[in-house]
A and B are shown apart, each in its own frame.
Chain A
Amino acid sequence: MSGHFVIACLAGERVAFASEEIESVVEIGAIVPVPGAAPHVAGLAALRSRVLTVIDCTAAIAPGSATAQPRDALVAVQAGHAYALLVDRVEDALEATGEIAPPPAGLSDGWAGVVRGHVFAEGRLLLLLDVEALVTGTGDVRNAFNQPLTLRHYEAATAQGVSRT
């Protein structure tokens, strides 16, 4: 199976979103904070007459951190609600070849909760992110997070994925 993916840069990594989950790519202006909400909820933003719940993907993966200079966001609709997923940068949209492989082993806890597989595209291996998990936020990550995704983990994952394709 092949599919189209939106490639974004997030917490220093290149990640993929299934294009059917992404409605559009927008630039987010002012964000109105939501006091009392989970740390990964950056706030609310208006897109014409729609209200988007802004999810800071960096914070969802690595609690305590936040996307610097929020600029690009992916608009996704989950269960009737529109979300804007803040990423560092949206890079490209491309077609992947091959199957969606299961998540690589050895991901740090922050990533493990939001990665639903990996895809192989243009000679590179990309983590495929799960929009639903990003939106929900993984509550237990807060405690578990003390080791960010290291290059070693990622290389191991890459090696695994490549050998399988």
Chain B
Amino acid sequence: MEDLLPDFIAESRELLAALDAEVVAWEAAPDDRARLDSIFRCVHTIKGNSGFFDLPRLTALSHAAEEALSEVRSGRRAADGRLVSAILAALDRIGEMVDALEGGTQPEGDDSVLIAVLGGADEALGSTTVRHEGPARTVRLPVDLLDRMMSGISDLVLARNALARDLRESAAPGETFDRLSAAVADVREAVTRTRMQRLDTLFAPLPRVVRDLCAETGKDARLELDGGDVELDREMVELVRDPLVQMLRNAVAHGIETPAERVAAGKRPTGLLRLTACQSGNSILVELSDDGAGIDTDALAARAVSLGLIGAAEAAALPRERRLELLFAPGLSTAHSVTELAGRGVGMDVVRANIERIGGAVTVETQPGQGSRFTLRVPLTLTIIPGLVVEAGGQCLAVPRSAVEEIVRLGAPGVTLHKAAGSASLELRGRKLPLVRLSDALGLPASSDGGFALLLRASGGAVYALAVDKVDDQEELVVKPAAPPLLKTGLYGGTTLTENGRPMLLLDAAGLAGRCGINGGEQAAEPGGDAAASDEPLRPALLFTALCGATQAVPLAAVTRIEQVDTSAINQTASVFHVAIDDWLLPLAGYRENQELERVHILRIGDGHMEIGYAVRSVIDTISLPAEATPLSGGGAAVLVDGRHVELLDLHALFAAHAAAPALAERPLCLLGGGDLWIDTFLRPLVESAGYRTAALGHVSTETPRLIILGEDAADPLPKGAKVVRLRKSAGAGDADTIFRYDRDALLQALAAGRAGR
């Protein structure tokens, strides 16, 4: 009898885990007879088993639940929210009793109130909490998987025997070794499978979580699940559980609006949460999307400022994506009030930290008014990961490949090291990254200045450089969890063995960054807090040779991109040059005609509102601008770089001269006539990419369109005040007022001219 108890506990747990989701689904569709029957059967099974084990309290409670369900089945009672809550409470209570049984004690307690409520009494139920299951100690495996493992082991034994024979006979073990390798791979794959678990087990309790959350917040939301058949390492499932529940809490508490707000916004009163999982290469993607209010990035920034996380000026300068990243800043909660659900100190920073600790990543997208989507990317398994082996201070350490963005050789051209008192940074292609020397961080003997730097992604997407002496090969690492005394350092994520059987530590990129005081990554590169280094704020700038041959510099912050184009892409209209880049016409400065060059570099310079191009002969390097600049008589300024006079591009003058360039935010309206397939699919994208909003001709609006494009023979009445472009279908010479519709250059010029208001 005692022997059977663990089986009873395991079976009951399994039944209960499935039941929560079933009951919630049944509440949504009370007429679903099949579902009710299946719930009834599960409860009946638990009751029967408990009778067998002589557990009177368990029997009484499950009997009451069974009776209540039986009344619903026979139509004598309606499945209202009250009854469902009582049934869920009873299932929770049964779960607690099963936990107690596993601990070896007879469950104590009084269920009379609960039984009365199940029987239809109108008494208040205490609030229930969601069961938190302890880690399961048993694993159920399909027999065929065991068979596969067994046959794999047989293959291993046979291969070993063959290898032994080869060795005895001093034969080259080439083919036998291949056989052995194949057998090892088979067994490894099978054993990995034993560690895998369907995500169903993770998903099953979640509908219940959403239901409880809705009840607490007065919201209404439905959870749709997809991808429960995707398999993930058991340990990983456990590690993902808490972050996922936290994200779900946030989605209900902050994302989904109240039913009244939703109706006012023209949405269905019931919010929709979608949780999907899919495998993508060696990772599992888990996506949680909601159709709620979306994340107010301005409110996020304002809140971060009020909490003193960032300065007001800094916040104002942040682009939208970076503001969204503030969601993951420690100590931030956007809720106006700290509710029961969210804002309990477990924020998205903890979620991100937990996911990154296991080599995963969290990203978020949001559309104001339409909802948000969080994506968790976690590695398929914890046990075998690709990693880089590095050396520092005479010690070998491993770094998870997933954290490494790039490897650069220190001293290579384009890689500049800056050292200020107590802090160092690395400059690469205009990025300035905090530099940590691994030997220093670990207190190992200092090493030479050479070596390599790994660009590592720490938490929050911040990147920092880690200097090491040597980078060895990439290896598949069999990772074992680190013991608590190792985890306590915050530096290591696990241990592994090298090929020669020596233990090796696996570095935790985020932990290391935390220990070294790197939080903001690239931002932290700008000295500010450090008194010794704060005298001169370093302003990175791009050094280039202008087409006139002069060496000039432009602050890097203003450069959005660097392009290389054929000079044929540059056109002149009136006295203004334009360059076509990706069908987008940019006003071009710094260009003169009759250039002997066939290709030029275009610096795309933006002020956050509009963009212009600046033609240059070649890009030299990125530099740090000195604080002192010499004003030049004709406006602008010059600085000394390595003893050379460098002219600073006068951005204000440049933009003032090209003020007619289209404002990104104010796109002029272009009406398209005809409404046929060609206009819609061929022409419209071109017009829009040239910086217009489009609408069909006949579109009723008070706004005067800037441009109207229509076929040569269309005779619609045209609004006044707009420039009209007529397109003809034949390539040959036609009416001088028309443009052949595939004369792209002429069309783009017309578009550019229209946008410039000429």
Contacts and interface: CB of A to CB of B under 8 A. Distances in A.
A34 B502 contact: no
Given A36-B491, A37-B485, A30 B443 contact: no
Interface in B467-491: 480-481, 483-486, 488-489, 491
The residue in B444, B486, B497 that gathers the most chain A C-beta atoms within 10 A of its C-beta is B486
CB-based closest 9 A-B pairs: A35-B442, A44-B503, A81-B483, A53-B483, A36-B489, A51-B495, A51-B503, A41-B485, A32-B503
B505 A53 contact: no
A65 B504 CA distance: 25
Given A30-B502, A32-B503, A46-B503, A51 B485 contact: no
16 contacts: A32-B502, A35-B491, A36-B489, A36-B491, A41-B485, A46-B501, A46-B502, A49-B497, A51-B480, A51-B496, A52-B503, A80-B481, A81-B481, A83-B483, A136-B485, A137-B485
Contacts of B488: 37-38
B306 interface: no
Given A51-B480, A51-B503, A34 B444 contact: no
B390 to A, nearest CB: 13
A30 B496 CA distance: 15
B443 A32 contact: no
B485 A55 contact: yes
B485 A38 contact: yes
A34 B505 contact: yes
Interface in A1-44: 30, 32-38, 40-41, 43-44
B88 to A, nearest CB: 33
Nearest to B438: A35
Interface of A: 30, 32-38, 40-41, 43-46, 49, 51-53, 55, 79-83, 135-137
B213 to A, nearest CB: 33
B485 A33 contact: no
Contacts of B491: 35-36
Interface string B501-517: 11111000000000100
A79 B485 contact: no
Contacts of A51: 480, 495-497, 503
B613 to A, nearest CB: 50
A49 B444 CA distance: 27
A53 B497 contact: no
Nearest to B479: A51
Interface residues of B, number: 23
Contacts of B503: 32, 43-46, 51-52
A53 B496 CA distance: 12
A56 B654 CA distance: 69
B495 A33 contact: no
B727 to A, nearest CB: 70
Contact of A35 (B444, B483, B497): B444
A28 to B, nearest CB: 11
B395 A32 contact: yes
B492 interface: yes
Contact of A44 (B481, B495, B515): B495
Nearest to A43: B503
B210 to A, nearest CB: 33
Given A44-B505, A45-B503, A51-B480, A34 B486 contact: yes
B642 to A, nearest CB: 39
Nearest to B505: A34
A83 B486 CA distance: 12
Interface string B94-130: 0000000000000000000000000000000000000
Contacts of A49: 497
Contacts of A37: 485-486, 488-489
A36 B486 CA distance: 9
Nearest to A52: B503
B509 to A, nearest CB: 15
A135 to B, nearest CB: 7
The residue in A33, A46, A51 that gathers the most chain B C-beta atoms within 10 A of its C-beta is A51
Given A45-B503, A46-B503, A79-B484, A33 B395 contact: yes
A127 B486 CA distance: 27
A136 B484 contact: yes
B443 A41 contact: no
A32 B504 CA distance: 7
Contact of A41 (B486, B497, B501, B502): B486
Nearest to B492: A34
A32 B501 CA distance: 11
Contacts of A34: 486, 489, 492, 505
A30 B504 CA distance: 12
A35 B395 contact: yes
Contacts of A80: 481
Contacts of B486: 34, 37, 41, 53
Given A38-B488, A81-B484, 10 more contacts: A32-B505, A33-B395, A34-B489, A35-B443, A35-B444, A43-B503, A44-B505, A51-B496, A52-B503, A80-B481
A80 B137 CA distance: 12
Nearest to B491: A36
Contacts of A43: 503
A41 B486 CA distance: 8
Contact of A36 (B442, B483, B496, B501): B442
Contacts of B485: 37-38, 40-41, 53, 55, 135-137
Contacts of A52: 503
Contacts of B442: 35-36
Contacts of B480: 51
A137 B442 CA distance: 20
Contacts of B501: 46
The residue in A43, A44, A136, A137 that gathers the most chain B C-beta atoms within 10 A of its C-beta is A44
A136 to B, nearest CB: 7
Nearest to A32: B503
A140 to B, nearest CB: 15
A131 B527 CA distance: 47
A46 B483 contact: no
Contacts of B495: 44, 51
The residue in A38, A40, A53 that gathers the most chain B C-beta atoms within 10 A of its C-beta is A53
Contacts of A40: 485
B576 to A, nearest CB: 61
A7 to B, nearest CB: 25
Contacts of A35: 395, 442-444, 491
Contacts of B481: 80-81
Contacts of A79: 484
A46 B497 contact: yes
A53 B481 CA distance: 11
A45 B502 CA distance: 7
A40 B485 CA distance: 9
Nearest to A53: B483
Contacts of B497: 46, 49, 51
Contacts of B444: 35
Contacts of B515: 36
Contacts of B484: 79, 81, 135-136
A104 to B, nearest CB: 27
Nearest to A49: B497
A21 to B, nearest CB: 16
B506 to A, nearest CB: 11
A124 B270 CA distance: 75
Nearest to A45: B503
A105 B46 CA distance: 52
The residue in A33, A82, A83 that gathers the most chain B C-beta atoms within 10 A of its C-beta is A33
A106 B496 CA distance: 42
Contacts of B483: 53, 81-83, 135
A84 B472 CA distance: 29
B476 to A, nearest CB: 15
Nearest to B392: A35
B436 to A, nearest CB: 13
A37 B491 CA distance: 9
